[in-house]
Amino acid sequence: MIIRDGFTTQVALSFGGLGLPVEVPSTFELPHTVFFTDESDLSPVNENIDKVIYGLTKWEPKITSTGVYPAGPNIVVQGKDHEEAVDKVNNVFLRELWGDGLPITPPTPQRVAWIMTGTDLDPDYILPGPGTVLEKGGTLSVESLAIFLAMAGGRPEYFPVVLAIAEAITDPAWQLGGVTATTRSTFPAAIVSGTIGNQIRLNSGYGCLGPDPRHPANMSIGRTIRFMLQILGGAIAGIGTMSNFGGQRITNVVVAEDEEGIPLSWPTLGEDRGFARGENAVTVDAIGNWYCHNLSTTGGGDAVTGSLLGMLPFLTCRGAEERDDPDRSNGFIMFPDGFAQLCDEAGWSKMDVKTWIYENCNRTTGENPLWSEGICRTWREPYAYNPEQVMLVVCGGAQAQHTYVMNSVTKRVERQSRAISLPKNWDELLAQAEEDLGPNPGHTG
Amino acid sequence: MSSEEKEERRISRRKFVKGAAAAGVGAGVLAACGSTPAPQIVKETVEVPVEIEKIVQQTVEVPVEVTRIVETSGGVPMEAGPVTLEVLDPRGASVVTQVHAPRLDTLEGKTICLLSNNIWQSWRTQPLIGELLQKQYPTAKIIPWTEIPVFSESFSPEQYAEVVAAVKAAGCDGAIVGNAG
């Protein structure tokens, strides 16, 4: 392997994802300066050719047999009291690179069993699809996800959403290996459609991308997915993921659609993705950057076109194969329900808005009065190749002051949606949550 | 849900918000006492002084009744004294389905294939590596990267199969893959 400096451990994990031992045959790292320009100095290749020959003739792997390598035994810690024992568990998890820097809830057998009441699946059931998490290729079992949800302070009624997200982003078409490995600041964003959002206190209103004690599910589910990517996928900063900044990665993004606030004539994202209105489903995309746009800073046109014009310069995109495929990743554009209602009242259907964005993002340089260098800040590519690729989500509360743009990391990703299956004891789980957390506030936008 | 039920739901929510605010104040004060919660459910009523700033800029103390509920969670023991905590290893199982190929004894007389993903200057580094190998091993057969299909991280299994077939057809004894980064 010819590898850029610093990437050897990440490449080793990629071998794991292919079912090979997590080892790189030879280590031939070139300085990153070699990789960037056509005039780069190639003398490091001359100086390291012996390492290439060593890799082909002398290198020996540590693991030489196939087989299943089971998880380690349970970990037992002792403390002089409960607080010290919990501290010790947290210390162990940080030392083993299983934590994320925030305190975890110890995944005791009792707590994990409690989380498992959120599904009818067996603990050792392997999720559909490849059944592994790239890059490292750790086995994606229901029990592993239950452990992560326990660690993230979750509850069993969150588990159906966790299972659906995990299945969606491990689909090979989602390109999880590349999304994880890249130097870009990627993270998964999951939009939950249907009735389950309000049932499990998943925020769709004010502050839906941040912490909210009335809606604790967003943070916990997103953190669970991060543990999955980190522990099963090896996405550890500077080791298995070379993201320079890694923004939004503690909790990723998990948010419910505002199906109470969306104009009645507008299809929900779930409907755009082929589900019935109110049906429980999740749609996941890989995000590379984001921006909160202030609608009041725009100029020209009526309230709708003026606002949309101001947003356009913040739409970016990168890379594409099968460009016309409407499932190609395009990120999400989030409208608060107040702005969606404003569009609706002005006679704009949801498809009108999507079509307008598509058409105006493809205008040539100089035509946009607000962006002299080009209407969208794309990386060689237009924002979308057809209106269907534009994903509008209504969430964020009633105030019509801002939109939130989450841009795709690359169109190589194919966005994924999955139906969410509920366990037989669903009503009991919700009743228990009501008892534990108090009355469900529902949507608070 | 009927309109009456919806109204009742809204009323209940407001009531909850008021109650939650009061409970939050109580919890903060009680936490400051530093006592270890017992593992059983305890209900007690305490009076908590709360400072309220009035519009007239006067500060008055108002007694508020708060009910505290303390309970264990998730089966975690909370009693004082030595505590043993058992947790699950989160790594799960891993499966090795294939091992790395055995190394070659020498490159003399062997066919070495250069495989490229056509990024990160691999169109320059791979030919140079080929030249250097050929110089050291004149009897080796170097297959340039242009004779094997270029691969991509987003390839489907079928596309990867085409690359593998080309490698086999070329009779490669070994391969150099790049560039990763």
Instruction: Convert the pLDDT of each residue in A328-362 to its tens digit.
Output: 999 999 999 999 999 999 999 999 999 999 888 76
Q: Please list every residue in chain A whose beta carbon sits closer than 8 Å to the beta carbon of residue B98.
A: 18-20, 66
A146-177: b or e for each residue (b if 16 or more CB lie within 10 Å)? bbbbbbbbbbbbbbbbbbbbbbbbbbebbbbb
The percent of residues in chain A predicted with pLDDT above 90, rounded, is 68
pLDDT at A67: 92
Write the CA distances from A74 to A11, A108, A154, B85, B92, integer angstroms: 29, 9, 20, 10, 11
Flag if B98 and A20 touch (Cβ within 8 Å): yes
Indicate which of A56, A65, A93, A226 best probes the interface with B, i.e. most B CBs within 10 Å of its own CB. Answer: A56
pLDDT at B152: 78
Average pLDDT of span B94-119: 92
* Smallest Cα distance from A341 to chain B, Å: 22
**Within chain A, what is the greatest distance between any pair of CA atoms?**
72
CA nearest A166: which of A113, A216, A209, A127? A127
pLDDT higher than threshold 50 for residue B35: no
Q: Please list every residue in chain A whose beta carbon sits closer than 8 Å to the beta carbon of residue B158.
A: none
pLDDT higher than threshold 70 for residue B36: no
What confidence tens digit (pLDDT) does each residue in A91-101 have? 999 999 999 99
Flag if B16 and A439 touch (Cβ within 8 Å): yes
Interface ipTM above 0.85: yes
Write the CA distances from A51 to A402, B104, B135, B175, integer angstroms: 55, 14, 15, 14
Q: Please list every residue in chain A whose beta carbon sits closer than 8 Å to the beta carbon of residue B133.
A: 49, 52-53
| Alpha carbon distance B114, B3 (integer Å) | 72
Q: Please list every residue in chain B whose beta carbon sits closer than 8 Å to the beta carbon of residue A36.
A: 121
The two tokens of residue A5 are: 């400096």
pLDDT higher than threshold 70 for residue B144: yes
Indicate which of B89, B116, B153 best probes the interface with A, i.e. most A CBs within 10 Å of its own CB. Answer: B89
pLDDT at A434: 97
The two tokens of residue B162 are: 């085409």
| Alpha carbon distance B142, A216 (integer Å) | 59
Flag if B125 and A2 touch (Cβ within 8 Å): yes
pLDDT at B106: 95
Average pLDDT of span A117-143: 96
pLDDT higher than threshold 50 for residue A410: yes
| Alpha carbon distance A107, A67 (integer Å) | 27
Candidates A3, A69, A86; nearest CB to B85: A86
pLDDT at B40: 41
- Minimum mean pLDDT range among A299-308, A378-387, B138-147: A378-387
- Band of pLDDT at residue B107, cut at 50, 70 and 90: very high
Bridge partners of A328, per DSSP, are A414
Pairing status of strand A75-79 against strand A67-69: unpaired
Contact A100/B at CB under 8 A: no
Bridge partners of B53, per DSSP, are B59
Interfacial A residues in 296-335 facing B (CB < 8 Å): 321
Flag if B90 and A46 touch (Cβ within 8 Å): no
Among A28-32, A206-210, B67-71, top mean pLDDT goes to A206-210
Candidates A38, A77, A144; nearest CB to B90: A144
Cβ-Cβ pairs closer than 8 A, A with B, add up to: 245
Average pLDDT of span A416-442: 97
Contact A12/B at CB under 8 A: no
The percent of residues in chain B predicted with pLDDT above 90, rounded, is 38
Average pLDDT, chain A: 90
pLDDT at A296: 63
Flag if A151 and B90 touch (Cβ within 8 Å): yes
What confidence tens digit (pLDDT) does each residue in A147-169 have? 999 999 999 999 999 999 999 99
Average pLDDT of span A37-55: 90
pLDDT at B43: 42
- Minimum mean pLDDT range among A154-168, A301-315, A362-376: A362-376
* Smallest Cα distance from A151 to chain B, Å: 9
pLDDT at A445: 77
CA nearest A273: which of A263, A264, A265, A283? A283
